[in-house]
Amino acid sequence: MEQQVVIITGAGSGIGRETAKLLATKDKALVLVDFDERSGQDTLNAVKEHQQQAIFVQADVSKSQDVKKYVDAAKEAFGRIDAFINNAGILSPPSLLGDLDEETFDRVISVNLKGAFLGLKYVLKEMEQRQSGVIVNTASAAGIQGQPHMGGYSASKHGVIGLTKTAAIEYGPSGVRVNAICPGGVITNMTKGFESSPEENGPLRRLANPTEIANVIAFLISEESSYVNGAVVTIDGGLTS
């Protein structure tokens, strides 16, 4: 089988980095995208232990020009895009909706929702042309239930699920599968400093390790999940059950 070419956004840290490291051991060609140059380069160095077919592209997913840049870089380096892990995201400081300032709301929507949209916009076109491809959008448990003090974030992730379902319906006939994952709490830079009791972490009484998310992403971009499309896959230890 031809080597799968995979773009991962938010590859500089957490879920994106662990997914990159896992996919490097599965012989994927990798296009690593992150806003943060240094952490992106660090991930590139880590994956190069297993996989020479890898590049890093510095890009802000909320900017159309930058999204075009990483799509073009993928095509130039490897000729096509087989899988897209639309994962970059940010959290905003906790706040009640009434106290949430407009700029903070705009920023979280811009990165988490518009960024996911722009990635889909440009990558879907490529995949449609080739009548093949698979996409995983990183939503969140906050995308399927409300989360107090995280109104902007929760709205952005509900939006990601809306985009996922729409894309799955629109592009399924073109041979492209699109699914969303909804992690609960994961031990990454994003959750550093957040205190939570075992009960708050759900029935398994712990946060997830990022490799537990990466394993599901690897499954969703593989042929083993060939009939999974438009799914909203919770990876939350039963938190939202």
Phi-psi label, residue 202: left if phi above 0, alpha if psi -120 to 50, beta otherwise:
left
Residue 10 sits in the site that holds ligand NAD (CB under 6 A)? yes
Residue 74 sits in the site that holds ligand NAD (CB under 6 A)? no
Look up 153 and say whether it is catalytic. yes
Q: Which two tokens stand for residue 147?
A: 């989360």
Of 42 and 128, CB closest to ligand NAD:
42
Residue 14 sits in the site that holds ligand NAD (CB under 6 A)? yes
SS3 84: strand
Residue numbers 217-236 binding ligand NAD by CB under 6 A = none
User: Tokens 């830079």 label which residue?
Assistant: 189
Of 14 and 133, CB closest to ligand NAD:
14
At residue 100's C-alpha, the angle toward residues 98 and 105, to 5°, is 130
**What are residue 133's DSSP bridge partners?**
176
Residue 237 sits in the site that holds ligand NAD (CB under 6 A)? no
- Rounded distance between C-alpha atoms, residue 158 and residue 63, angstroms: 21
Q: Map residues 170-209 to x or -, x wherever contact with ligand NAD holds by CB under 6 A.
A: -------------x-xx-xxxx------------------
Of 191 and 211, CB closest to ligand NAD:
191
DSSP secondary structure code for residue 76 in this structure: H
Answer for which of 26, 36, 55, 75 binds ligand NAD (CB under 6 A) is 36
**What are residue 83's DSSP bridge partners?**
6, 134
Minimum gap (Å) between residue 102 Cβ and ligand NAD: 19
Residues annotated catalytic, as ranges:
153
